[in-house]
Structure 1
């Protein structure tokens, strides 16, 4: 199950998904509600939130995957939000392992100083202003993926301003979750040139899973003959040299 980053369409993962399929895995990619092919009607009227992506969309996708490939093991390959939201899934216990890429809390205060200003601008100025003016967040204007439904962007802003991302909503909007219960093996891969999913923010997100069996791997682009990995380029065809990392993990688990 390829769980996407916030505002990223399923087509972005097509080449990587084909690679996994060519190596024997059944793979599903999807758009969360309000994004790409899952946007119906005017986006400003859409009520989608990050929370409903985790509580409703991701569980439904997993159930469909199970129906297509019964009696086998199921794995989550999460990109950013795709790994963050697993604990909201009521059927998360059906997942055997998790391989996360660029998955972290995105906590603003942990970002390097040079990136904090644009990050604060986007989260704390652009998102609220765009929501007021347009009724949704025009993320595409600043290179942050697809336009976002208002509630998605608002929760994104709130969660990245706190510690532990979704943990900031525990007892407020999130009243049931399984973050405390998950023990599945997991690999958390980030890159040294990722300003969002830096090592501190990866550790911050992992702390939300107290029982999780987590391993970490920080990639340096030059060590793999690459000029850039950052937050997004792991899934680029130019980064195919990295893809066996995921394949080997899946084969092992």
Structure 2
């Protein structure tokens, strides 16, 4: 495994137009020398691209071309208010395929892989962005059912945001102040309203007939690695399984890590992508991606 200095990789800012309207802003990181494979990192809800910087650089240091980005209406991909009607399904059904297609076009001769954080892996579980993909990793990706949150205090906090404060600000302002509410980045009102609705359903978007989720997940045949963390209050094994047990025609490997496995005090819902996970956890995913791409270890 290579352990190059970050200065040995290059980065390029990219804009990708979406057929339905708007533009996705992201960063392409390239290794020193020809890339061996290409990886897209599909983000979580209202999580800024910068969270994925360290992990993207790590993969690039090890020979991968890596593209990370912000969903439309978040971060650098347009203001939430200007994209107020965008829903979560639009990110999954439009943004994820658009970025995957762009990377495939940019690197037509490379093996293609993906890593999805929370919502990003939902999109792939729903059969989006999988064309020509050798495999994908789902990180802390779960059915976001509020009643399923085991910690009572966290369940009340999330319930207040998803059932009252988020929908209220989404309707009144057209955008949700995610930073002030402790949700991450500000986001379009339409996405919050859809999220709020799904969070009240026992089986999340599988109970939304318009999503056709059971049929779509059954169409997935791409190998997947699904990982969770013992101190994540949202993505518990039960809630991860609520999504990925529906991939009945795919090979799905499941792993659960504790903070002790990583040698750090906490991981939670976001910590895998922070640099504290570099020494212990990132190599596990790198090895899996390398194997699925049919590459020899470096």
Which moves more between the two structures, 106-115 or 61-70?
A: 106-115
Q: Is 2:140 the partner of 1:108?
A: no
Contact 1:44 1:134 in 2 (8 A): no
Q: Using structure 1 for the length normalisation, give the TM-score.
A: 0.92
Structure 2 unaligned blocks of 5 or more: 1-39, 293-298
| Equivalent residue runs for 1:170-209 within 5 Å | 171-172=209-210, 178-209=216-247
Q: C-alpha offsets along residues 121-149 of structure 1, whole Å, 9 cap, x if unaligned?
A: 11111112222332221111122111110
The aligned length equals 251
Aligned to 1:117: 156
Aligned to 1:252: 291
What's the RMSD between the two structures over aligned residues? 2.0
Q: C-alpha offsets along residues 1-52 of structure 1, whole Å, 9 cap, x if unaligned?
A: 1000001121221111010011011110111110111115x61653211111
Q: Which is richer in helix?
A: 1
For CA contacts below 8 A with separation 6 or more, give which structure has more relative contact order. 1
Tell me the CA shift for residue 61 of structure 1. Answer: 0.4
Contact 1:58 1:89 in 2 (8 A): no
Aligned to 2:109: 71
CA distance in 2 between counterparts of 1:177 and 1:55 reads 15
Q: Is 2:130 the partner of 1:62?
A: no
| Equivalent residue runs for 1:30-179 within 5 Å | 30-40=69-79, 43=81, 46-88=84-126, 91-114=129-152, 115-169=154-208, 171-172=209-210, 178-179=216-217
Structure 1 unaligned blocks of 5 or more: none
SS of the residue 2:131 aligns to: helix
Q: C-alpha offsets along residues 85-104 of structure 1, whole Å, 9 cap, x if unaligned?
A: 12445552322211111111
Q: Using structure 2 for the length normalisation, give the TM-score.
A: 0.79
Q: Is 2:288 the partner of 1:236?
A: no
Larger radius of gyration: 2
> Residues 72, 177 of structure 1: CA spacing in aligned structure 2 closer, same or farther, 3 A cutoff?
farther
SS of the residue 2:65 aligns to: coil
Tell me the CA shift for residue 237 of structure 1. Answer: 1.1
Tell me the CA shift for residue 109 of structure 1. Answer: 2.1
Q: Which is richer in strand?
A: 2
